[in-house]
Amino acid sequence: MIKLENINLDLGEFQLKDINLHIEEGEYYVILGLSGAGKSILLECIAGLQKPDNGKIYLDHEDITNQKIQKRSVGYVFQDHAVFPHLNVFENIAYSIKRKFSKQKVKDKVIEIAEIVNITHLLKRDPKTLSGGESQRVALARTLIRDPKCILLDEPFASLDVQLRDDLRSLFRKINRMGKTIIHVTHDYEESVTLAHKIAVFHKGKIVQNGKPSHVFANPKSKFVARFKGIRNFFVVKMIQHNKAVYKDKIAFEIPEQKKLSKGFVMLNSQDLKISRKPDPINESNKFKGIIKDIVPSMKGNEVVVDADIKLTVFIKHRDFEKLDLKLNEEVWVYFRPDTIKYIVSDKQ
Amino acid sequence: MTRTDPFALTLTLLGGVVLILIIAPLAGMFFETPLSMLFKTAREEEVIRSITLTLLTSLGATIFFSIFAIPLAYLLARKKFTGKRIVSGIIDLPVVIPHTAAGIAVLGFVSRDTWLGKMADSLGFDFVGSPVGIALAMSFVSIPFLINAARDGFSSVPVRLEQAAYNLGASPVRMFFTISLPLAWRHILSGFILMFARGLSEFGAVVIVAYHPMITPVMIYERFTAFGLKYAQPLAVLFILVCLVFFLILRMLTRENGNNGNFKFRKNK
């Protein structure tokens, strides 16, 4: 069990602000945030490479905030792997146990770990000849052999191709099933939802939302979290009637009927928005006139960004897009049914 | 027909002047020295003693001061502390001061009038005119080369590797000997060679601290002033050859693959 209590650290460029986390034993916990947001600093605090300005870190109820790096039962797999270039793969893996066991025992242990991470064929190799995926596995084996209570993975899929990512993902799941607590830092939404038991979304040095991935992404509490799921239309609103909410006190949305008036968020899938050159005669509510500001093609279709005092993103399939023949700076109407809106009540009322 | 690049040609001509500056005096001296004179000089007992003394004092000084210079270089490369820039400046000082002045400074530190000299005297030892005094004078002028090279070496080792070693349970001492030192080793060895070479060639500082026992640069000077150019040349050529052989051996060490404990030398690519 790992517990972070009110961790604060100011490194100038990077900051940690009042971080509170509770990670259960055997949990696969993902910290999701943009690249360069300082997520790695959080891992460095847990590993002991950085000392927080204040706050406490507990590992299995023991306060390890001021404990030496060497004494912490925390294994850190660095983003750049940090495989020792002057030692071969065997020597790298054996580094932490070389002085603790007999030569034969060290050899047995290295082979055992190498089998788990599937690198037995690499043991005599010079690290300079390893591919990114192989090097990642060596770093992982080197950490696992110490049998730490918790493993910290810093952007483990960075600079790996898709095939290697799949293999490594199943390896991490395997290690997690062996009972290891894993804290995994990433900027990749897909990576987080496929691996995490629980997730914390990290933004500007703070954890903005945490919980089970399905819950976090079904109920994003900020535009930042919504953006990770690919939600482009996310607005902070205030209800003025049981079926009406306003954005910035002037733009009104008709929303599904709510029991209580509250502040909250309006979330819309861009597929649910419709676009036309004339106003929709059937829909009376949620109609917005605007100008097409951008058209972004993707694999499945086009995202059309319309500026209608609020920025609305409409997804149109390729075939429909061709039929509509939309142009930049053209005036259009965007409309959607109230039942396509997901209204999320904010924690801060 | 290939076209000649005027810029490259200019660079080559300018660079050629530098090469001539180095090669011409050496080649002249080599060609003017008959082989018979060279062999005769090489057999002189006084010469053999002098060359041995020069090599051993410089090597001894380099090895002894490495024990202090390498940790200092690591501190300078890795740690932040008050006065770090001043310390770096002090280390470079011997490079810029005249060597005779360096000799005077060392003499002023170890002569019989000083506390160190008095203390040595009470033990029946005198720095002045001794191989230890020579080694001190050599070290004074040559130690910046080792410290600076080692500092560059340690700076070139990624901090992440040291952090990884700590995370794997290594103590600072184990991390230093198994990660930092082996990875900075080639820089350190280069610094070692430079310090050794600088020590061998030192004249100004040594001649003030110890005219006798006579190291080879002092002996070359003595033969030149007492007997003239022709008499000094064979010894100069011989000493240059001996130095070259030593350099080649040390340089070869950095190129050969081998495993000396945890240290590995890699092939230059």
CATH of residue A138's domain is 3.40.50.300
Residue A92 banded pLDDT, cuts 50, 70, 90: very high
Same domain, A195 and A306: no
| B160, B166, B178: residue with CB nearest A70 | B166
Question: Which residues, listed in sequence order, are joined to residue A266 by a DSSP beta bridge?
Answer: A235, A343
Chain A to chain B Cβ contacts (< 8 Å): 51
Residue B167 has pLDDT above 80, yes or no: yes
Q: Which residue has the tokens 């997690």?
A: A176
Minimal-distance CA residue of chain A relative to B158:
A82
Q: What is the pLDDT of residues B22-47, one digit of tens each?
A: 999 999 999 989 999 999 999 999 99
CATH value at residue A324: 2.40.50.100
Q: Is residue A226 part of a domain?
A: no
Cβ contact, residue pair A96, B169, below 8 Å: yes
Distance from the Cα of A75 to chain B's closest Cα (Å) equals 7
Same domain, A269 and A140: no
Of B246, B223, B225, nearest in space to B236 by CA: B223
Residue B113 has pLDDT above 80, yes or no: yes
How many domains does the structure of chain A reveal?
A: 2
| B169, B182, B183: residue with CB nearest A146 | B169
Minimal-distance CA residue of chain B relative to A47:
B167
Tell me the residue range of the domain where A207 lies: 2-221
Using the Cβ of B264 and the Cβ atoms of chain A, whether some distance falls under 8 Å is answered with: yes
Same domain, A241 and A199: no
Burial of A306 (0-12, 13-18, 19+ CB in 10 A): buried
Separation of alpha carbons A172 and A193, rounded Å? 14
Separation of alpha carbons B62 and B51, rounded Å? 16
- Chain A contact set for B264 (CB, 8 A): 86
Report the SS3 class of residue A179.
Answer: coil
Same domain, A203 and A242: no
pLDDT at residue B261, as a whole number: 37
Find residues 135-164 of chain B whose CB sits inside 8 Å of chain A.
158, 160-161, 163-164
ipTM of the complex model: 0.84
Q: What is the pLDDT of residues A32-69, one digit of tens each?
A: 999 878 899 999 999 999 999 999 999 999 999 999 99
Q: Which residue has the tokens 């300082």?
A: A38
Same domain, A184 and A284: no
Separation of alpha carbons B169 and B175, rounded Å? 9
| Alpha helices (runs of H) in B111-180, residue ranges in sequence order | 115-122, 131-155, 159-167, 172-175
Q: Is residue A77 part of a domain?
A: yes
Same domain, A240 and A120: no
Residue A71 has pLDDT above 50, yes or no: yes
Q: What is the pLDDT of residues B233-263, one digit of tens each?
A: 999 999 999 998 888 887 787 665 444 334 4
Tell me the residue range of the domain where B163 lies: 49-216
**Cβ atoms < 10 Å from Cβ of A61:** 7
**Cβ atoms < 10 Å from Cβ of A159:** 11
Contact predicate A77/A153, CB 8 Å: yes
Give the end of a domain, one of A221, A247, A276. Answer: A221
pLDDT at residue B14, as a whole number: 97
Contact predicate B254/B189, CB 8 Å: yes
Separation of alpha carbons A194 and A217, rounded Å? 13
Q: Is residue B239 part of a domain?
A: no
Q: Which residue has the tokens 């009104």?
A: A252
Of A218, A98, A253, nearest in space to B174 by CA: A98
Residue to test with chain B: of A83, A84, A91, A109, most B Cβ within 10 A: A84
Using the Cβ of A82 and the Cβ atoms of chain B, whether some distance falls under 8 Å is answered with: yes
How many domains does the structure of chain B reveal?
A: 1
Give the end of a domain, one of A190, A221, A252. Answer: A221
In sequence order, the 6+-apart residues with CB closer than 8 A to the CB of B161 are A82, A84, A85, B179, B183
Q: Is residue B195 part of a domain?
A: yes
Separation of alpha carbons B267 and B269, rounded Å? 6
Using the Cβ of B171 and the Cβ atoms of chain A, whether some distance falls under 8 Å is answered with: yes
Q: Inter-axis angle of helices B99-110 and B115-122, to 10 degrees?
A: 50
Residue A247 has pLDDT above 90, yes or no: yes
Q: Is residue A249 part of a domain?
A: yes
| B160, B168, B171: residue with CB nearest A95 | B168
Of B209, B59, B238, nearest in space to B129 by CA: B209
Q: Is residue A227 part of a domain?
A: no
- Chain B contact set for A85 (CB, 8 A): 161, 183
